[in-house]
Amino acid sequence: MRRPLAAVLASFALLAATACSTQHDGTDGEDDGTAPRPGTLRVLASSELSDMTPVFERVGKDTGVTLRPTYMGTLDAVDLLATGKADGRYDAVWLSSNDYLRLRPDAAEKVVSETPVMSSPVAIGVRTATAAKLGWKPAEVTWSQIDQAVQDGRLTYGMTDPARSNSGFSTLVSVASALSGAQSALTDADVAKAGPRLKEFFKGQKLTSGSSGWLASAYARRGDVDALLNYESVLKGIPGLTVIRPKDGVVTADYPLSSLASTDTTTRENVRRVTEALCTDPVQRLITDRTHRRPVVASVPPAAGLDTGRRRELPFPGSRSVADGLLDAYENELRRPSRTVYVLDTSGSMEGDRLSRLKTALTDLTGDFRDREEVTLMPFGSDVKSVRTHVVDPADPDEGLAAIRDDTKGLEAEGETAIFTSLEKAYDRLGTGKDTFTSIVLMTDGENTAGADAEDFDAFYRELSGDRQDIPVFPILFGDSDREELEHIAELTGGRLFDAQQGSLDGAFEEIRGYQ
């Protein structure tokens, strides 16, 4: 994996945690002068917690404390904590799990309390018709049976990117633990032992994603994917799935609400009060009924439809080397390789700072490209200017990466803006038949001014074969580009719009990596 995993994971001792029994110290934290709004907690939250709005509103009424969440992927949130960028901006962190945080001391030291308030295990959601064809009894299915169905070509699936999503990494740990036969936390030897079986297993992965929400949408759009691997709570919200917790064990998210060290005693007291409210019977019932997560209070039963059978809890890796090795193997050896065409606006309006920012973003991105990845640069102005394709060869990855950087350095701004003509040529370039995660990234700083128009592209797209219609376009909103125009492209092709007007261009390119 080209991205240094040391920047994501490191070893650290466990934080003390007791479900719905907050560990709270009265020590004053440092503050950078950005005081919170009175009666409001600024919460850095996992993106999947966006379904908790009714719970936030209920807790606000019960405590007088308003929760103001900012949603972010778990790994991105941990990075924000580790670099100190959360200090003074947030009062609490609420992730699907603190397991990543525990493996990174520079992030873990930012947290002074931890209270799990609900849980959801990893599961597989299988189209009900597919489960019937396989003859599966949900309470009896094992990871080995799932693996065998994949080997037999009878099961395909989607999952989130383990390098960016906690649900994806928890799934990877669950599968690796089961297929290696590990009896305790995964070791380096277990990862090596499971390698051949895992490589075969991941041949069945047809969808990857940086978020559970987009994964569910892509699954609904396509008819050739049989199942999704994700948290039980996410899968329960998708119609037509039989949700199965494999009998031989899974990793479970426990959703701890944590106070941050950078806050004062009054803010930490507000976190304690909110946590206490979250653990009351009425709120626990609201959580499980609305979100399909499991309560942590024994007096509250799980929502109807949640299997109450016991399952072995698989431990999270306890060392950096195991986490590094597992993620590196997945990124560079186990998963399908990526194949991407970068359709890049280099029209006259990109002259100067905009082109410089594009070159910097693309150059930096080469550090994240995976082994076996195929990258095509297709700069355009009034028409496509050139088409250059490079492969990151595991035998000599530096050669391909250097070639991408050289092509990026040579980009020049001139001409009008032929967005739709260039997209059509990107689809023509990709064709069909490759066993890859295939996508198109479109970066433009303006509206379409040359060549085919939106109606022409719509007609072109409708005439594509089914396999080619499965290739999503991920547009990046940048400069003076037209949001409505780009949103239409994303919606038509099953992609997603990324905003570099509100954020950074390099951040948008990096976020898209979870979808490639």
Give the 3-state secondary structure of 336-356: CCEEEEEEEECCHHHCCHHHH
Domains in the chain, CATH or no CATH each = 5-117+255-295 (3.40.190.10), 120-252+313-330 (3.40.190.10), 337-515 (3.40.50.410)
Residue with tokens 């609904």: 220
pTM: 0.88
Per-residue pLDDT at 17: 38
Instruction: Give first-to-last CA distance, the chain, whole Å.
Output: 14
Report the C-alpha gap between 121 and 264 in whole angstroms: 34
Report the C-alpha gap between 161 and 102 in whole angstroms: 20
**Pairing mode, if any, of strands 157-160 and 227-231?**
parallel
Per-residue pLDDT at 466: 79
State the DSSP code for 71: E
Q: Which residues pair with 69 in a beta bridge?
A: 43
Q: Which of 213, 210, 230, 262 is nearest to 80 (CA)?
A: 262
- CB 323 within 8 Å of CB 9: yes
Q: At what angle do helices 166-180 and 143-151 cross, to 10 degrees?
A: 90
Per-residue pLDDT at 502: 86
Q: Which residues contact 492 (CB under 8 A, 6 or more apart)?
A: 458, 461, 473
Residue 167 identity (one-letter amino acid): S
Report the C-alpha gap between 285 and 80 in whole angstroms: 32
Report the C-alpha gap between 66 and 61 in whole angstroms: 8
Report the C-alpha gap between 106 and 103 in whole angstroms: 9
- Token representation of residue 390: 């490079």
Residue 160 identity (one-letter amino acid): T
Output phi, psi for 70, to 5 deg: -120, 120
| Burial of 165 from C-beta contacts in 10 A (0-12 / 13-18 / 19+) | buried
- CB 328 within 8 Å of CB 3: no
- CB 374 within 8 Å of CB 339: yes
Report the C-alpha gap between 472 and 500 in whole angstroms: 19
Q: What is the pLDDT along the chain (516 residues), one digit of tens a residue?
A: 444 444 433 322 333 333 464 333 333 333 333 345 678 999 999 888 999 999 999 999 999 999 999 988 787 888 899 999 999 999 999 999 998 788 888 999 999 999 999 999 999 999 999 999 999 999 999 999 999 999 999 999 999 999 888 889 899 999 999 999 888 888 999 988 889 999 999 999 999 998 888 999 999 998 899 999 999 999 999 999 999 999 999 999 999 999 999 999 999 999 999 999 999 999 999 999 999 999 999 999 999 999 888 888 988 887 878 888 899 999 999 999 999 999 999 999 999 999 999 999 999 999 999 999 999 999 999 999 999 999 999 999 999 999 999 999 999 999 999 999 999 999 999 976 568 999 999 999 999 999 999 999 999 999 998 789 999 999 999 999 999 999 999 999 999 999 999 889 999 999 999 999
| Burial of 139 from C-beta contacts in 10 A (0-12 / 13-18 / 19+) | exposed
Residues in the chain: 516
Q: Which of 125, 107, 211 is nearest to 160 (CA)?
A: 211
Report the C-alpha gap between 233 and 30 in whole angstroms: 36
Residue with tokens 């999270």: 316
Q: Which residues pair with 122 in a beta bridge?
A: 231
| Burial of 129 from C-beta contacts in 10 A (0-12 / 13-18 / 19+) | exposed
Report the C-alpha gap between 306 and 295 in whole angstroms: 11
State the DSSP code for 408: H
- CB 141 within 8 Å of CB 247: yes
